[in-house]
Structure 1
Amino acid sequence: MNKKTILVLNTLYWPYKIGGAECSVQILVEGLRAQGHDVRVISTTEKSSVNNLNKRDSETSFNYGNIYWPFDGNEHGIYRLGYHLIDSYNLLGFYRVYKALKIVKPDVLITNNLQGFSSFSWLAALINSTPIIHIIRDYALLSVDPSREKTKKIPFQVFDFFMRWHYRYLLKKVHKVIGISQFILNEHQRSVNMSKNQCDVLYNPVVCPEISASSNHKGKPIVGYIGRVSEEKGIAWLLNSLVQQDTEFSLNVIVAGEGPILSQLKSEYAGQVTFLGKVEPKEFFS
């Protein structure tokens, strides 16, 4: 196997972890390194004085470079308009990726979540004639609203088009587009005219902890969810369905994770669902 130089881009990277994307990207990077490839990672962080990638660095986090840090859990009101404008047309992100490509000279650029860099990172790779693999992990390429609920309103559709038209255009130029599920890939194919040879499905890698299964479990069947507690994950729909079924089947429902609708769900399902907060998978499954 020929050793490759690979540049991986994601909004966040270890030790910063908001959801499953960061875990999957870390597993991908470590897996590629274990196979002998030279893998460099660029990401963003809330506070950093780094402006350029050092040729010796395996991981580099740039300052996010926007009006606010989007992962602080706060509502930013009218500032969100300026935030989305900067994030969608991110010339600083373009410059950083362009410089990184010049320094690392990778055989391929693998992009994931693009917040903090924008689709201009693909433009930088195209200018450098660097092959691009993009892994679709959410719906951010199609809308600035991750739940896509606001896209039903005409004014928001106009705003969304202005913020995302270049994402759709440049996505057609990406050499390989990977969906982490057939459903999420189909949703993007409905919006972007991509060739079948350009697209594929590759499920997220999972490192399974060693857990001794107990055959002596007594009591209610346990149904668990571990992951980000947000609208777009479908957790509200899942809990509603499970609680309705609980009238017929006695279930013990457990939720592990954090997110923007956690407080709302805790209030709505108090006494019906157990919320553990953020826990490691090994602890959750034990």
Structure 2
Amino acid sequence: MRIVIVSSLYTPHIIGGAEISTQILAEALVPVADVHVMTLGGHRSGSVRKETIAGVTVHRLPHHNLYWIGESKGKGVLPKTVRRLVDLYNPRIIGAAGKLLRELRPDLIHTQNLSGFGPGVWTASAGAPILHTLRDYSLLSPVSSPLGNPALAKLYAMTSGGFSKRVAAVVGISGHILKRHTDAGLFSKAARLVIPNAVEGRIAAADKDFDRKPLRIGYFGRIEPEKGVREMIEAARMLPPDVVESVVICGEGSQREELAASCRQDNRFRFPGKVKPEEARRLMAEMDANFVPSIWEEPFGRVIIESYQVGTPVYASAVGGIPDAVASPDEFLFRPGSATAIRDKIMAYHVKSAEQKRRIQAACLEHCRKFTQASLLERHLELYARTLSGGGDYAVSAAYGQVQ
């Protein structure tokens, strides 16, 4: 079976979790399929550049746009919007994609994030069935974030919706992101299901002194307004040192300097910046509890599973796809944007007994085993077989969690 995965970016060009998840899927398929990735390179014109990475044949097409998506950092709202509007139908990139697909003659095409290609690339399928995985909201808005211009977003979603009728099956990495798109009218003819991301990492709990009471709490991710870091800091500052001993805010972003400055008089707070994955795991393991206080609709909660892998529980906002990733959501979710709600969860964990904390850790370790590469491969092979056989009667249900 020959599979072509289409993705805006591919390793070593990584912006976030979408690129990591696409790479995990591609490499998981290598033992059972001839896997090709069609992606965009940093060159604006010229020929397709081909290389092999971990058994995956990668084809980097010229981006044929205002700028390459891999160079988005620092671009203003206007150029970003113009580039994404070009995506709606870019005949040069669609032509290049169609030419390559006719040469490769895949059995299946599996598209991922399409910023840079645009949904018009679904017209270049060369007769192969198309599957699509929803990893962000870029089909609903030219700025792929909480929708700030409803009229523009509606026009954008209508265009994406028309092209999406060519898709045979659509996968949401959470029940929320799938429902968000289908409620907007996209993928009206597609089979629908949820397959959560695989999160690589050794599952091994760090030793913890469950009897100690002052808590060490952590945040790992971008430090931006929509991530709710300010609210988490406010919550921790409400509590005395005999409840919160230390707070680690790990990551970079537009709010880092401002928030670090606001905490200079409180030596409980540390801002180590962006660290390597192995250092992040070590820090996660040292915490008593980690927090994901996002305000915006996160498509998934990768950092939640990463924390579970080292045996540290996570309290998180009840927003977007986060509930699908959280173990025991009734206990570990809180209202987004509320410092008071976060404070209450800190206190709730502080008063737990050592035995309760041990049971929570065991539950976290068990829960994260559902998000392994083996599980991801099994679910996708089943999907591919059903699609190739013409079957597509899938119920819309979250794999783990709730469809909201």
d(CA) in 1 for partners of 2:252 and 2:176?
24
The offset of 1:261, in angstroms, is 5.2
Cα gap change, 1:229/1:62 in structure 2, threshold over 3 Å: closer, same or farther? farther
Map Cα deviations across residues 37-59 of structure 1 (whole Å, 9 max, x no partner). 11001112323665336698811
- 2:67 — aligned with what? 68
Query: 1:20-31 to 2 correspondence within 5 Å?
Result: 20-31=17-28
d(CA) in 2 for partners of 1:62 and 1:95?
11
d(CA) in 2 for partners of 1:195 and 1:72?
31
d(CA) in 2 for partners of 1:22 and 1:32?
16
Matched residue SS, 2:29: helix
Matched residue SS, 1:95: helix
The offset of 1:205, in angstroms, is 0.5
- 2:272 — aligned with what? 276
d(CA) in 1 for partners of 2:255 and 2:97?
33
- 1:154 — aligned with what? none
Q: Which amino acid aligns with 2:83?
A: Y
Matched, 1:188 2:181: yes
The offset of 1:103, in angstroms, is 1.2
Query: 1:26-65 to 2 correspondence within 5 Å?
Result: 26-33=23-30, 35-47=31-43, 51-52=47-48, 58-65=57-64
- Aligned length, in residue pairs: 272
- 1:214 — aligned with what? 207
Map Cα deviations across residues 142-164 of structure 1 (whole Å, 9 max, x no partner). 1112222413xxxxx33333334
Candidates 235, 244, 247, aligned match of 1:244: 235
Query: 1:2-13 to 2 correspondence within 5 Å?
Result: 4-13=1-10
Cα gap change, 1:220/1:284 in structure 2, threshold over 3 Å: closer, same or farther? farther
Contact 1:18 1:228 in 2 (8 A): no
Cα gap change, 1:262/1:38 in structure 2, threshold over 3 Å: closer, same or farther? farther
Query: 1:134-173 to 2 correspondence within 5 Å?
Result: 134-151=132-149, 157-173=150-166
Matched residue SS, 2:180: helix
d(CA) in 2 for partners of 1:78 and 1:195?
31
- 2:172 — aligned with what? 179
Cα gap change, 1:139/1:58 in structure 2, threshold over 3 Å: closer, same or farther? same
- 2:291 — aligned with what? none
Q: Which amino acid aligns with 1:135?
A: T
Instruction: Give unmatched runs, 5+ long, in structure 1.
Output: 152-156
Cα gap change, 1:55/1:77 in structure 2, threshold over 3 Å: closer, same or farther? closer
Matched residue SS, 1:58: strand
Q: Which amino acid aligns with 2:25?
A: L
Map Cα deviations across residues 59-109 of structure 1 (whole Å, 9 max, x no partner). 122232221234442133543453233222222221122112111111111
- 1:117 — aligned with what? 117
Matched residue SS, 2:244: coil
Contact 2:94 2:121 in 1 (8 A): yes
d(CA) in 2 for partners of 1:191 and 1:92?
28
Cα gap change, 1:274/1:172 in structure 2, threshold over 3 Å: closer, same or farther? farther
Cα gap change, 1:186/1:63 in structure 2, threshold over 3 Å: closer, same or farther? same
The offset of 1:219, in angstroms, is 7.0
Which has the larger displacement, 67-76 or 131-140?
A: 67-76
- 1:204 — aligned with what? 197
Matched residue SS, 2:271: strand
Matched, 1:254 2:248: yes
Matched, 1:223 2:214: no
Larger radius of gyration: 2
Which has the larger displacement, 36-45 or 46-55?
A: 46-55
Map Cα deviations across residues 172-228 of structure 1 (whole Å, 9 max, x no partner). 331111111111111112112646971111111111136561224867433334344
What RMSD over aligned residues (CA atoms) do the two structures have, in Å? Answer: 3.0
Contact 1:53 1:100 in 2 (8 A): no
Which has the larger displacement, 142-151 or 210-219?
A: 210-219
Contact 1:44 1:62 in 2 (8 A): yes
Contact 1:224 1:255 in 2 (8 A): yes
Matched residue SS, 1:222: strand
Q: Which amino acid aligns with 2:234?
A: V
Q: Which amino acid aligns with 1:221?
A: L
- 2:84 — aligned with what? 84
Which has the larger displacement, 68-77 or 268-277?
A: 268-277
The offset of 1:278, in angstroms, is 2.9
TM score, norm. by length of structure 1: 0.81
The offset of 1:116, in angstroms, is 1.1
Map Cα deviations across residues 125-149 of structure 1 (whole Å, 9 max, x no partner). 1xx2211111101111111122224
